[in-house]
């Protein structure tokens, strides 16, 4: 218990003293995860909308595959990306291994199915509402998708936040493809793993508190947004 208390004080000490190493780690964590979520959303949101709106022969299977991909163990994704990006692997020529880009790639792969699946589910409900109206308006397929994406924007934001929550706490994949290199690819989660392995529990807890705060903030946001979804004016 004293270890936890020590960690608590150490955390505040680091945060308030504007410890440069800590803030470098926090900044890199946000950089990697925010970039990954933006890319994953650019792919996942329209994909979810497209799946909600279109009826084609293999639709059920595609949706099942998407939901299954959500359950991909992140560390396995990390291993796969590692093998792809290694110099000895097919994409080695780009020299991306052990860089923040590799971490972003891994997180995009992990988070896109989640965002696509959530957006598909919420937009499917919205599509059920709008279906007759948009057909009556003679809207083209892309116009329908745009209407869903815009009118469903709160639910979609929730999907993005869920993706963020998943990515910011991920450690296995980015450890493998990033290498946890000091000042280069070390983020909150990998730093916690490292410090714990060194037996520096207090510092690890300090990092952990920062991470918990971030995750809690995100989840609170999701909660507030989804509760007031129907009644809200944006």
Partner 1 sequence: MVILPLTLKEATAHARGKKLLGPVSLKLDGAGITMVIGPNGAGKTTLLRLMHGLQRRSGGVVEWAVPERAARQKQSYVFQSPIMMRRRVLDSIAYPLRLRGISKAKAHAKAQQVAARFGLAELLDSWAPRLSGGEKQKLALARALITDPEILFLDEPCANLDGRATREIEEILRMAQAAGTKIVMSTHNMGQALRLADDILFLLGGKIHEQSAAEPFFQNPKTKEATAFINGDIVE
Partner 2 sequence: MNRTLATLFATLMFASTASAETLRMAVTTSFYNSGLSEILLPEIKADLDLDVELIVVGTGQALRLGEAGDVDAILVHARAAEEAFLAAGFGTARREIMYNDFVFIGPANDPAQIAGAANAVEAMQRIAQIEAPFVSRGDDSGTNKKELALWNAAGAAPDGNWYRAAGAGMGATLNVASGMNAYVFADRASWLNFGNKGDLTLLYAGDPSLFNQYAYIPVNPARWPHVRIDLADALENWLTSKKAEGLINGYTINGEHLFTFNAQTAE
Binding site for partner 2 (CB under 8 A): 86-89, 92, 95, 97-98, 179-182, 184, 196-201
Restricted to residues 212-231, the positions that interact with partner 1 (CB under 8 A) are 230-231
Please say whether the beta carbons of 159 and 121 come within 8 A: no
Please say whether the beta carbons of 114 and 162 come within 8 A: yes
Question: 121 vs 196, which CB is nearer to partner 2?
Answer: 196
Q: Residue 95 touches which of partner 2, partner 1, none (CB < 5 to 8 A by kind)? A: partner 2
Contact pattern from residue 128 through residue 157 relative to partner 1, giving x for each residue in contact according to CB under 8 A and a dash for the rest: -xx-xx-xxxxx---x---x---xx-----
Q: What is the C-alpha to C-alpha distance for residues 145 and 151, in angstroms, rounded to an integer?
A: 10
The least distance separating partner 2 from the CB of residue 207, rounded to whole angstroms, comes to 14
Please say whether the beta carbons of 105 and 96 come within 8 A: yes
Q: What is the C-alpha to C-alpha distance for residues 159 and 111, in angstroms, rounded to an integer?
A: 10
Question: 152 vs 172, which CB is nearer to partner 1?
Answer: 152
Any contact of residue 55 with partner 1 (CB under 8 A)? no
Q: What is the dihedral of CA 54, 57, 163, 97, to 10 degrees?
A: -120
The crossing angle, in degrees rounded to 10, of helices 59-70 and 20-53 is: 160
Question: 70 vs 126, which CB is nearer to partner 1?
Answer: 126
Q: Which residues bind partner 1 (CB under 8 A)?
A: 129-130, 132-133, 135-139, 143, 147, 151-152, 230-231, 233
């Amino acid at each position: 218990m004293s270890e936890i208390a020590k960690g608590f004080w150490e955390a505040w000490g680091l945060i308030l003293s504007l410890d440069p190493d800590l803030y470098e780690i926090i900044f890199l964590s946000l950089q990697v995860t925010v970039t990954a979520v933006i890319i994953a959303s650019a792919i996942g949101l329209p994909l979810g909308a497209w799946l909600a709106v279109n009826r084609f022969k293999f639709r059920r299977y595609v949706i099942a595959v998407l939901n299954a991909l959500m359950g991909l163990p992140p560390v396995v994704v990390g291993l796969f990306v590692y093998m792809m990006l290694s110099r000895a692997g097919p994409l080695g020529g780009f020299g991306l291994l052990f860089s923040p880009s590799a971490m972003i790639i891994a997180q995009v792969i992990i988070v896109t199915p989640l965002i696509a699946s959530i957006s598909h589910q919420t937009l499917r409900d919205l599509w059920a509402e709008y279906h007759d109206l948009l057909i009556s308006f003679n809207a083209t397929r892309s116009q329908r998708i745009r209407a869903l994406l815009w009118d469903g924007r709160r639910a979609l934001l929730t999907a993005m936040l869920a993706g963020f929550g998943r990515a910011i706490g991920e450690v296995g994949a980015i450890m493998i493809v990033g290498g946890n290199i000091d000042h280069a690819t070390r983020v909150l989660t990998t730093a916690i793993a490292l410090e714990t392995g060194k037996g520096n529990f207090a510092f690890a807890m300090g990092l952990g508190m920062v991470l918990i705060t971030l995750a809690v903030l995100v989840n609170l946001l999701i909660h507030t947004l989804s509760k007031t979804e129907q009644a809200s004016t944006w």
